[in-house]
């Protein structure tokens, strides 16, 4: 019996087990492959922070053999819970080149997330619920488009790990053995992704114990024992931690509580803000149907895990150990879990199933089309802007400035595009982060201080609160900087002491006039 992959979502009750498994596998492969289209269609992968990461990868790979890079940066390997993509780049870049390796690795995160969501739905309900399709656009969410690539990779792996955790509920010894290395890998990828998985796994273990008739004390003790294998990463990290480094506050609160609601509504923010918000509305409606319509069944453990993460989200600060937007990152995860916690049950009628199927298919394809178009447009913009740095000599001190919006959401993604200059031409990048708790790179280009690290790249056309305008920032650049690159500016703009060397549609590479050099 041949089964069209999507038919298994409509009615799997009369499908042979073998055909059902093959159909679900085909469905997972198909939808995962479609999720790769946005990255495939972008000539340069246009994620906000990715340029900064690529610059760091270049230092990671080349600092040992480049005297120019050693003058500005040092890189020392260590064990941090923020190394997922970094380690994959270390393996693949020597084989295929830095940028192709990053494009492949980061471009595969949405397909990996999609497959993880579908497998989690199957593990929670015994089959993939048709409504699970409404969660798939969250694979290309705001945290991913921001370029939080280690976090995004860890969440994709966490969905897969959660599906396995549920599937092995009745085989505790095997689960314990497997999740020693799995937990360590999740922690190594990213601390927040590991923590999200721990919350999901802990809540589902508690629910399973109480559902099985265990007492509260017995359930808590057994859950603690189940969770113990997940502590390998933090234990090793604590034993291998090195004292010293810049002091970083454990947490900071810089946003109002109202921002929590905004981040949920902005979970899919890409380019067209009205469309993006409407798509979140569709996901919220799918959540409402799953929780309220009697024909749906709910996986209580997954629902409780989503609610636990929601409570954590509402209470947690927005900056943890110097890393901003910590709360924003888990907003799409919460929405996805709330969708996946429900699935149409045996009482669901044919009309409801067909309506869900058609609605979900239209929603997924429409969202995929706009994500692909947006990624292609931004990718071409990146490629065109990067032609400016081809006029700069290799290995020179360069200060880059990005003209941002003042207190207005800016959908442009080039805030860290200057990292490509570091990777391609070994130009100094003043947009690199130096966080001892989360980065292995150290910056020591004192001749350019304070234009030597993030956020010295950010400027504004006019003063923004206490922050100066671009003209004042340019005037303050140390004389050691021979070149200046300003992104998102009128190409006709001139600055005293600088002459335009190459222009693009909205960026200019300037050279310091000879009379202004040291």
pLDDT at 321: 64
Question: What are the DSSP E strand ranges found in 445-497?
Answer: 458-460, 483-487
CB 275 within 8 A of CB 146: no
pLDDT at 18: 74
Q: Which residues are CB-contacts of 294 (< 8 A; sequence separation ≥ 6)?
A: 347
CB 85 within 8 A of CB 193: no
Residue 301: inside a domain, yes or no?
Answer: yes
Token code pair at residue 409: 């959401």
pLDDT at 1: 40
Distance CA 84, CA 185 (A): 8
**Enclosing domain of residue 439:** 384-516
pTM: 0.94
Residues 286 and 433 in one domain: no
> Taking the chain (518 residues) in consecutive chunks of 10 residues, what is each chunk's mean pLDDT?
60 66 90 97 96 96 88 91 95 96 98 97 94 96 96 97 94 91 95 94 90 83 89 84 53 71 94 96 96 93 95 85 81 97 89 92 97 97 97 95 91 96 96 82 93 94 93 95 96 96 96 78
SS3 460: strand
Residues 370 and 388 in one domain: no
Residue 1: inside a domain, yes or no?
Answer: no
Q: How far is CA 71 from the centre of its chain?
A: 31
Give the domain-ending residue among 374, 408, 442: 374
Residues 327 and 420 in one domain: no
Residue 363: inside a domain, yes or no?
Answer: yes
Residues 323 and 424 in one domain: no
Q: Which one, of 251, 244, 322, lies nearest residue 78 by Cα? A: 244
Residue 98: inside a domain, yes or no?
Answer: yes
Residues 417 and 358 in one domain: no
Pairing of strands 251-252, 296-298: unpaired
Give the domain-ending residue among 355, 374, 393: 374
Q: What are the residues facing 323 on neighbouring strands?
A: 320
User: What per-residue string of b and e applies to 51-73 under the rule 16 or more CB within 10 Å gives b?
Assistant: bbbbbbbbbbbbbeebebbeebb
pLDDT at 219: 85
Residue 2: inside a domain, yes or no?
Answer: no
pLDDT at 437: 66
Residues 262 and 400 in one domain: no
SS3 481: coil
Residue 379: inside a domain, yes or no?
Answer: no
Q: Which residue matches tokens 């959540």?
A: 287
Residues 76 and 196 in one domain: yes
Give the domain-ending residue among 374, 393, 408: 374
Residues 260 and 392 in one domain: no
Cα atoms found within 13 Å of the Cα of residue 177, Cβ hemisphere only? 3
Residue 233: inside a domain, yes or no?
Answer: yes
Residues 149 and 89 in one domain: yes
pLDDT at 244: 46
Residues 331 and 214 in one domain: yes
Q: Which residues are CB-contacts of 199 (< 8 A; sequence separation ≥ 6)?
A: 305, 308, 309, 312
User: What per-residue string of b and e applies to 480-496 under the rule 16 or more CB within 10 Å gives b?
Assistant: bbbbbbbbbbeeebebe
pLDDT at 215: 81
Distance CA 394, CA 425 (A): 5
Residues 175 and 37 in one domain: yes
End-to-end CA gap in the chain? 79
Residues 262 and 336 in one domain: yes
* Helical ranges in 147-272 per DSSP H: 149-167, 172-189, 191-211, 216-227, 232-240, 258-265
Q: Please count the structural domains in the chain.
A: 2
Q: Which residues are CB-contacts of 397 (< 8 A; sequence separation ≥ 6)?
A: 428, 445, 447, 448, 480, 481, 482, 483
Residue 50: inside a domain, yes or no?
Answer: yes
């Amino acid at each position: 019996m041949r089964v069209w992959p999507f038919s298994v979502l409509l009615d799997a009750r009369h499908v042979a087990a073998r055909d059902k498994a093959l159909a679900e596998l085909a469905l997972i492969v198909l939808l995962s492959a479609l999720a790769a289209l946005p990255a495939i269609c972008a000539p340069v992968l246009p994620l906000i922070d990715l340029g900064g990461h690529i610059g760091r990868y270049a230092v990671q790979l080349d600092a040992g053999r480049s005297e120019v890079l050693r003058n500005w940066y040092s890189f020392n390997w260590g064990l941090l819970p923020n190394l997922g993509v970094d380690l994959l780049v270390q393996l693949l870049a020597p084989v295929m080149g830095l940028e192709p390796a990053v494009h492949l690795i980061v471009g595969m995160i949405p397909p990996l997330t999609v497959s993880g969501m579908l497998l989690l739905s199957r593990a929670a309900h015994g089959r993939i619920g048709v409504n699970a399709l409404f969660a798939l656009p969250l694979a290309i969410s705001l945290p991913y488009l921001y370029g939080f690539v280690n976090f995004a990779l860890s969440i994709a792996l966490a969905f897969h790990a959660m599906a396995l955790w549920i599937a092995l509920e009745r085989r505790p010894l095997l689960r314990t053995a497997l999740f020693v290395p799995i937990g360590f890998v999740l922690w190594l990828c990213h601390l927040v992704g590991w923590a999200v998985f721990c919350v999901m796994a802990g809540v589902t273990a508690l629910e399973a114990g109480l559902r099985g008739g265990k007492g509260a004390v017995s359930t808590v003790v057994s859950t603690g024992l189940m969770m113990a294998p997940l502590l390998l990463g933090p234990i090793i990290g604590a034993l291998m931690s090195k004292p010293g480094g810049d002091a970083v506050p454990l947490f900071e609160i810089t946003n109002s509580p109202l921002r929590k609601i905004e981040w949920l509504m902005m979970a899919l923010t890409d380019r067209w803000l009205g469309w993006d918000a409407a798509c979140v509305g569709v996901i919220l409606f799918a959540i409402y149907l799953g929780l309220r319509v009697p024909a749906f069944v709910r996986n209580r453990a997954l629902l409780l895990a989503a609610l636990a993460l929601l409570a954590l989200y509402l209470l947690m600060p927005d900056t943890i150990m110097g890393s901003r937007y910590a709360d924003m990152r888990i907003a799409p995860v919460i929405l996805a879990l709330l969708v996946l916690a429900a699935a149409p049950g045996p009482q669901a009628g044919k009309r409801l199933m067909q309506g869900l199927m058609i609605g979900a298919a239209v929603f997924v394809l429409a969202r995929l089309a706009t994500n692909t178009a947006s990624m292609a447009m931004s990718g071409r913009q990146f490629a065109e802007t990067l032609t400016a740095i081809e006029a700069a000599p290799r290995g020179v001190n360069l200060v880059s400035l990005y003209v941002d919006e003042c207190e207005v959401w800016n959908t442009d993604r080039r805030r860290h595009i200057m990292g490509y200059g570091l990777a391609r031409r070994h130009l100094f990048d003043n947009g690199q982060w130096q966080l001892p708790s989360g980065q292995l790179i150290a910056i020591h280009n004192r001749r350019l201080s304070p234009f030597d690290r993030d956020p010295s790249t950010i400027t504004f056309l006019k003063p923004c609160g206490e922050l100066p305008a671009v003209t004042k920032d340019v005037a303050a650049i140390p004389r050691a900087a021979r070149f200046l690159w300003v992104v998102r500016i009128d190409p006709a703009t001139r600055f005293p002491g600088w002459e335009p060397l190459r222009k693009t549609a909205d960026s200019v590479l300037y050279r310091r006039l000879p009379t202004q050099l040291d």
